Structure 1
């Protein structure tokens, strides 16, 4: 039986490619976590800058706690089973009245992970609504294959290559509005994106990209993962540690290794390479 998700939510995920909202923590708990995140930003501004936003869970305790939060992991387990690996994490922070956006795309396009059975939760630490640039999804888009993407390298596109799918019927889009402390979950092939933040407050979101079964393998770069639950018999993976302290020597080194691996994977065949 599901631990967190109802049978209807599980069915909705597999039918439409997403599930939202899912309660993970109270708004007060989310606010306290937000304050910890902002305090960590203040101490390590370069290590958590917009061009250094990948895999913070490997080096910072506050993001590690998010990545291993039992409610998030239980919700993922409801979808993919008891053996769970974590591939990475990405910060999606939008400043007030900023131009940054995320073009329509599918996570499975450039991540180098096969098969596409992985799941990405997205945790809101602040309100995430239409004004602030919440995630939008195209329901049912996960049922086909990977669609053609083009690399735009647009200045304000938050994605690495500015990868974008053209000719999306945006009238079908659904806004995933979340309160602080809620997550959305989406499938590897679900078409999604988000608009700029037109509001007066920051929109802070953490994508856990992604949780996967041991059957999933990295086919371009190294298989660098954390074990989150189960997975007692593994082969072909390099297992990364959880941080003991913020930016401890091992943690900082492993984050650097993971980010270099990601750059190799995400920019494979690209005409240019950006700083993130």
Structure 2
């Protein structure tokens, strides 16, 4: 029996490549996550950028607790079984009245994983809707194989390489994912999706948690992941420890090492060396 998803939601995920909304925590809990994020940003002197937006669950205990959140992991287990890793996490933050956008793309393009058994739980810290640049997707496109992409490194594109699908997208078929704080959407790694800019007067903050069954491997380099449920009998990834305090110096050093290795995978074939490389890092870049 499914733990949290209904059979209808499971069927929708496999048919369309995405299911939403799924309430996983009270609105107040999600707003507290936003408060913690913005308290750190205020102390640090500005919004998160560069490698701080990647694998942030290794730096902050409250984000590590989030990737282990029972209801979120229950939903992933309903799709992919009981042995699960959190492979990566990424903040997608669109500042108010800002041109930053996400081009139409498939997540799987540069990740180096050996099979498409990957699902993203996109957790809303703020409302996400048509007025502030919510994500949209083209239903059913996850059933296609990998689509060719082109790199743009466009200044306002929030993706690592500004990648976009190198084929025409029928935007008339797009579905907008509207979420309230504390709700998630689940989308498949091969789903074609993207999002427009945020013209509203408030930030739009989403936290993308990438989950894989332990059977998935990495073929493009050394990689790390966090075991969130069950056992890992495959040992394809170096398992990440859990931080016991925020910005622990040992974990800051570990995070830097892991982020550098992750960047080598995501930017392979380009001259970009890290998430903090000037070519990859713009004021608006989120991932």
Relative to the length of structure 2, the TM-score reads: 0.92
Distance in 1, Cα, partners of 2:83 & 2:196: 34
Q: Which residue does the alignment assign to 1:149?
A: 149
> Superposed, which structure 2 residues align to 1:1-276 within 5 Å?
1-45=1-45, 48-49=48-49, 52-165=52-165, 166-208=167-209, 210-270=210-270, 272=272, 273-275=279-281
Distance in 2, Cα, partners of 1:196 & 1:50: 19
Distance in 2, Cα, partners of 1:48 & 1:243: 19
Distance in 1, Cα, partners of 2:251 & 2:95: 27
- Unaligned runs of 5+ residues in structure 1 are none
- Unaligned runs of 5+ residues in structure 2 are 273-278, 282-286
| Contact 1:217/1:223, CA 8 A, preserved across alignment | no
Deviations 1:11-47 (A, max 9, x none): 1001110111100112122212211221122234579
1:190 shift after superposition: 0.4
| Contact 1:133/1:198, CA 8 A, preserved across alignment | yes
Q: State the number of aligned residues.
A: 275
1:64 shift after superposition: 1.2
Distance in 1, Cα, partners of 2:33 & 2:61: 11
C-alpha RMSD of the superposition:
1.5
Distance 1:47 1:251, change over 3 A: farther
SS of alignment partner, residue 146 of structure 1:
coil
Relative to the length of structure 1, the TM-score reads: 0.95
